[in-house]
């Protein structure tokens, strides 16, 4: 079964993507967007809409409701494809490669840019941890009880994107951010390894000082506290041993 969002994205037509965008647009008003709304707003013939919806449901990009009415909502995979389409059309991503890693609240994939640069694509996945934990530790959703996981993930990605831009301006050692769409953040790939895997450093004291200096600059110049700093959130560059702090903010 295809699970790589890039593989699934390549199977979609412009019509399929147009239907996904209509569902996305009206999910702000409906838990499941009614079929008649999808048909009327898409301005696509009924039969063609039905063909796309069957295909999208089969690929698990949407979830179908059969009850008092027929309706559809986006899954994370459907949201992934919309974000990828936007990033491809904006020339941020050329091709999505294999999975690089899986975290509590994100999936990371290797990718290449249109200029053949190695990049990393981060899909935020809020909701893997418990519902209560998410609201307890993310104050931007605690007073919005009906906020969806997709919107929470978009807010999380937006916060990370802005934090990386601000930290870069303040000369904090962070990944170079290249773009964002919805819940997806694109960054330049770091030629290094996570700190906990780094063995036999040439200058361990310099690595520690680099980490502490980045944390200090982020707080004093940007007003950001990482909140979850550990050996799992720092990458050491192979050539320079410069530590790069990832996963901002928590």
**How big is the chain, counted in residues?**
250
Calpha distance 29→169 (Å, rounded): 38
pTM of the model: 0.90
Annotated catalytic residues are: 228
DSSP 189: P
CA-nearest of 149, 83, 133, 148 to 250 is 133
- Profile the chain (250 residues) by mean pLDDT over runs of 10 residues: 85 98 94 96 95 98 93 96 99 97 92 98 83 51 59 95 97 98 98 97 98 97 94 96 91
Q: How much is the pLDDT for 160?
A: 96
Question: At which of 168, 190, 212 does a domain end?
Answer: 190
DSSP 172: -
Q: How much is the pLDDT for 3?
A: 75
Phi-psi region of 77 (alpha: psi -120 to 50; beta: other; left: phi over 0): alpha
Residue 93 near residue 99 (C-beta atoms within 8 A): no
Q: How much is the pLDDT for 67?
A: 86
Whether 84 is in a domain gets the answer no
DSSP three-state, residue 180: strand
Whether 250 is in a domain gets the answer no
Q: Which domain holds residue 222?
A: 193-245
Neighbours of 197 (CB within 10 A): 11
Whether 145 is in a domain gets the answer yes
DSSP three-state, residue 81: helix
Task: Scan for tokens 């934990």, then name that residue.
Answer: 133
Question: At which of 49, 77, 105 does a domain end?
Answer: 77
Q: Which two tokens stand for residue 66?
A: 């059969």
Question: At which of 77, 102, 120 does a domain end?
Answer: 77
Q: Which two tokens stand for residue 164?
A: 């990386």
Residue 172 near residue 219 (C-beta atoms within 8 A): no
Q: How much is the pLDDT for 58?
A: 97
How many domains does the chain divide into? 3
Whether 233 is in a domain gets the answer yes
């Amino acid at each position: 079964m295809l699970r790589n969002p890039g593989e699934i994205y390549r199977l979609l037509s412009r019509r399929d993507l147009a239907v996904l965008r209509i569902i996305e647009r009206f999910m702000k008003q409906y838990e499941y967007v009614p079929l008649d709304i999808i048909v009327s707003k898409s301005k696509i013939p009924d039969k063609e809409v039905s063909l796309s919806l069957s295909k999208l449901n089969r690929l698990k990009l949407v979830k179908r409701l059969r009850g008092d009415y027929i309706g559809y909502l986006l899954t994370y995979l459907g949201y992934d494809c919309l974000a990828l389409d936007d990033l491809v059309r904006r020339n941020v991503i050329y091709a999505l490669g294999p999975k690089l890693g899986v975290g509590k609240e994100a999936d990371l994939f290797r990718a290449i840019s249109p200029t053949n640069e190695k990049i990393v694509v981060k899909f935020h996945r809020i909701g893997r941890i418990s519902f209560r934990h998410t609201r307890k530790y993310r104050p931007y959703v605690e007073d919005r009880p009906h906020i969806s996981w997709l919107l929470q993930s978009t807010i999380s990605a937006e916060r990370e994107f802005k934090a990386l831009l601000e930290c870069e301006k303040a000369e904090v050692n962070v990944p170079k951010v290249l773009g964002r769409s919805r819940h997806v953040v694109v960054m330049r790939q770091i030629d290094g390894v996570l700190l906990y895997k780094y063995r036999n450093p040439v200058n361990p004291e310099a690595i520690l000082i680099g980490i502490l200096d980045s944390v200090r600059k982020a707080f004093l110049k940007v007003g950001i506290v990482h909140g979850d700093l550990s050996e799992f959130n720092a990458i050491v560059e192979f050539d320079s041993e410069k530590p790069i702090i990832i996963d901002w903010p928590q």
